[in-house]
Each structure stands twice: as structure tokens, then as C-alpha cells.
């Protein structure tokens, strides 16, 4: 059966000598993998439509539940080559891709996530150099929120009490009482400032296209960026460990 959809290439992996497996975020099938036969032989346009972050209209051939349909046609809607050509933009986008691939299960339709990610790519592509650091941080926060893994910074995650101490292994700030008694080695934690929480809240709530009006200071950017690093490192390592575990027990 032939199906058509729109997809954004998240990544490609070599398969055999000349073939590729592409992972897409699609508009109506969620994250899927598809097989590309000799993309380098069949002409450069097909090959370049498989570059990471390319937004394309694709035709897939395979049974409805086939785990690896074949890409029979792929037409570029947006190449987003400007993102790939900027080291900083590409690193930032690659981190978003890693989060999507690690935290979003395959094959679950999510139109909103697709439009949301497409909007992010448009915003990054057209961003001004001086607002890039802020925008990259905002896109990271918003993607985590969109997939349900944003850190909880608005009060203690257990009782709601005001707190300025973030605990990566809980994914939230905790008050002194809820964090538990300080015996032995203290749980890893990080002190944060009120201003950082305020910026974080705005970055989730404001529409992406006006987020360049947010102008946080250097310290806020540095603090939030460190916090997100800790949060994501914990999230992804736990996720990877747990998926390895479940794969081994099936």
C-alpha cells in the first residue's frame, strides 16, 4: 500500500553499502523509520531530501503495519540548510532531535508535536545572531514541555512550597522538608535564583515567535542551561538504561 505524509528527517543511518534508514517525525504517524534504496545512486535530489532536518513530502510503500516501509518519493518542502550550515544552530537542533528520539515512542500520531517542531525549525532558521543563545534555550525548554518532560521549577514538586533548590533525580525543585533528611551524602542538587525561574516560566508560556522579546541576563542563561544539562543527562541516561532493560526481558 502506498501512503503519503509529510515528515522531518530526524536522522539517517547507513544500511549496507548504499542504502539508508531514515527516522522521520511525520505529521500523521508520529516518529517512524523508513528505508531509502540507494539514495546516492538514484539522483542527488532524492539524496538531499534525506539530509537531517529536511521537511519533505514523502511517499511510503509497505504494509500498513510494516516496520520499515520503503521511501518511493521524497520532495523537499523546506531544506533548512541554513540550520545545518551554522554549527551552533545544528548542535542545538541535534540536541532537540536526540530528545525526540529518546523520549517519544515510535508510531504514535502527534500532529501537534509535528507542527510544534516545524515552528521551532522556522524560528531557529530566521533568528538573529544576538538572540540565538536565548532562543536555543527556549526551544529546549519548550520541547521538553511538549513531550511531557519539562523540569518542575514552580515550587516544591511534592508540596508546592516555595523552593530554590533543584534535584535532577526528581526532575523538580523540592523544599527542605520534602527533600528528606540530610544524612550521609546529600542528594545531587543545584541552587537557583528567582529570576531564572521567572524566565523559565515565560519561556514556556510565550509563543515562540515573540520569544525574542525575552532578554535574560548572562547569569540566568548560564544557570538555566546548566540546570537543563543536569536534567537531560539524568533523563536520558535513565531512559536509555530502562529501555535496554525492557529490551532484554522481552
* Residues engaged in binding Zn ion (CB under 5 A): 156, 158-159, 161, 175, 178
For cell 541552587, the residue is 191
Closer residue to Zn ion in complex, CB, 49/172: 172
CB 221 within 8 A of CB 137: yes
d(CA 63, CA 219): 53
Q: Is 5 helix (H, G, I), strand (E, B) or coil?
A: strand
**Which of 81/158 has CB closer to Zn ion?**
158
Residue 66 or 175: which CB sits closer to Zn ion?
175
DSSP secondary structure string for all residues of 28-89: TTEEEEEEES-TTTS-HHHHHTTSTT-EEEEEEES-TT-SS-EEEEEEEEE--HHHHHSHHH
Smallest distance, Zn ion to C-beta of residue 176, A: 8
Longest dimension (CA), the chain: 64
Q: What is the DSSP letter of 192?
A: -
How far is 117 from 141, CA to CA, in rounded Å?
A: 12
CB 121 within 8 A of CB 55: yes
Contact 7, 27 (CB under 8 A): yes
Q: How far is the CB of 160 from Zn ion (least distance, A)?
A: 7
Which residue, 9 or 156, is less far from Zn ion as judged by CB? 156
Which residue, 68 or 159, is less far from Zn ion as judged by CB?
159
Q: How far is the CB of 139 from Zn ion (least distance, A)?
A: 30
Cell numbers that stand for 166 in this block: 533543584
Alpha helices by DSSP H, listed for the chain, are 44-48, 81-85, 87-103, 111-125, 132-146, 194-205, 218-249
Q: At its nearest, how many Å lie between Zn ion and the CB of residue 175?
A: 3
Nearer to Zn ion by Cβ, of 158 and 187: the residue is 158
Work out how close the CB of 177 gets to Zn ion at its nearest, in angstroms, rounded to a whole number: 5
By C-beta, is 109 or 176 nearer to Zn ion? 176
Cβ atoms 189, 167 nearer than 8 A: yes
Shortest CB 151 distance to Zn ion, Å? 16
State the nearest-atom distance from the C-beta of 170 to Zn ion, in Å. 11
Amino acid at each position: 500500500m502506498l501512503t503519503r505524509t509529510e515528515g522531518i528527517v530526524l536522522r539517517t543511518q547507513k544500511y549496507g553499502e548504499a542504502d539508508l534508514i531514515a527516522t522521520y517525525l511525520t505529521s500523521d504517524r508520529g516518529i517512524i523509520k523508513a528505508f531509502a534504496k540507494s539514495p546516492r545512486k538514484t539522483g542527488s535530489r532524492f539524496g538531499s531530501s534525506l539530509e537531517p532536518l529536511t521537511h519533505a513530502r514523502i511517499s511510503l510503500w509497505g504494509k500498513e503495519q510494516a516496520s520499515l516501509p520503503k521511501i518511493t518519493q521524497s520532495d523537499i518542502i523546506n531544506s533548512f540548510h541554513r540550520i545545518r550550515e551554522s554549527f551552533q544552530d545544528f548542535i542545538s537542533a541535534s540536541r532537540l532531535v536526540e530528545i525526540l528520539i529518546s523520549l517519544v515512542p515510535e508510531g504514535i500520531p502527534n500532529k501537534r508535536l509535528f507542527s510544534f517542531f516545524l515552528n521551532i525549525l522556522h524560528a531557529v532558521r530566521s533568528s538573529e545572531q544576538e538572540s540565538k543563545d536565548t532562543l536555543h534555550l527556549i526551544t529546549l525548554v519548550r520541547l521538553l514541555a511538549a513531550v511531557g518532560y519539562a523540569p518542575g521549577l514552580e515550587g516544591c514538586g511534592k508540596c508546592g512550597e516555595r523552593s530554590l533548590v533543584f534535584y535532577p533525580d526528581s526532575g523538580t525543585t523540592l523544599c527542605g522538608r520534602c527533600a528528606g533528611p540530610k544524612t550521609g551524602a546529600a542528594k545531587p542538587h543545584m541552587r537557583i535564583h528567582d529570576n531564572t525561574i521567572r524566565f523559565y516560566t515565560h519561556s514556556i508560556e510565550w509563543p515562540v515567535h515573540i520569544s525574542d522579546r525575552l532578554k535574560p541576563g548572562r547569569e540566568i542563561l548560564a544557570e538555566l542551561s546548566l540546570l537543563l544539562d543536569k536534567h537531560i543527562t539524568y533523563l536520558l541516561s535513565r531512559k536509555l538504561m530502562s529501555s535496554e532493560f525492557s529490551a532484554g526481558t522481552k
